[in-house]
Amino acid sequence: MALVTMREMLKEARANKYAVGAFEFWSYDSAYAVCAAAKELGVPAILQVGPYEKEFMDGYENAVAMAKMASEHFDLPVAIHLDHAETYEEVVEALEAGFTSVMIDASAYDFEKNVELTKKVVEKAKEYGASVEAEIGKLAGNEGNISNDEDEQTDPAMAAEFVRQTGIDCLAVAIGTAHGFYTKPPKINIDRLKEIAAVVEIPLVLHGGSGTPEDKVAEACGNGIAKVNICTEFIAAYGAGYNGQNTEGFKYNVLSLFKEGRAHGSALAKKKMELFLTHKI
């Protein structure tokens, strides 16, 4: 099956109160782990690439080739998505390589500049038929320090206006989650999410899904979140599977050493995907 955009799969997810899992991948093996889980559950998959994965795979074209291989192997709808691009040039590079979806994150800029850059990306993505995700509001960074300051979270009226002006396909919102693992329990603002979902019709995206309390993630998926990003937890599960292997007495069998990483990664992905289906109708 050819790679697809996120457009249809996320529309369907939002309409039916579930979310599609989006996982960072860095090899055919990790793409395989995600797709195997998705196939088992009968859901589509989103494979994401950020700057580290791009470097590890030596460029976007290789990433597209690996995602395609996994999609074909499992005969599964798979979107390959660029995570958190901060420049127009980065987006164009990914689209040229065959990405079916991109995120432009201009949320650090003021509203006008965010709209301007996002609109430019939407125009360009149209040429390739790719879907576009953008962000409004401030998400806490990689250090796990989360802000519970509601002023920094996504403002519903601004979000509605942003979507109207830019024509994006899905919107990442800040409702109290953070990237990376948490150093203290996060306070997820479901009320804010409901307010946003009441005025924004397009699918919403939850970043910082790793380590977020499961009941809150499930509740978010029943209230407008149609895509949940899982990066840190997936990589950690995968790595733990590898690191637990003992090389003593190793006899040329690649499976004995490397199958466990994939199995651990796949199990984590499946567990998350099931969680995102909690309130499916």
Residues that bind Zn ion (CB under 5 A): 207
Closer residue to Zn ion, CB minimum distance, 36 or 228:
228
**Whole-angstrom distance, CA of residue 155 vs CA of residue 170:** 16
| Listed residue (238, 229, 234) closest to 206, CA to CA | 229
Beta carbon of residue 126, minimum distance to Zn ion (angstroms, whole number):
24
Q: Which residues have C-beta within 8 Å of that of residue 52, sequence separation ≥ 6?
A: 26
Task: Determine the angle formed by the axes of helices 88-97 and 60-74, rounding to 10 degrees.
Answer: 50
**Whole-angstrom distance, CA of residue 253 vs CA of residue 263:** 16
Closer residue to Zn ion, CB minimum distance, 32 or 182:
182
Q: Are 160 and 123 in contact (CB under 8 A)?
A: no
Beta carbon of residue 205, minimum distance to Zn ion (angstroms, whole number):
8
Closer residue to Zn ion, CB minimum distance, 48 or 223:
48
Catalytic annotation, pick one of 83, 105, 155, 169: 83
User: Taking the CB of residue 10, how many other CB atoms lie within 10 A of it?
Assistant: 27
Closer residue to Zn ion, CB minimum distance, 207 or 264:
207
Chain centre to alpha carbon of residue 160: 21
The yes-or-no answer on residue 83 being catalytic is yes
**Whole-angstrom distance, CA of residue 233 vs CA of residue 27:** 17
Catalytic residues: 83
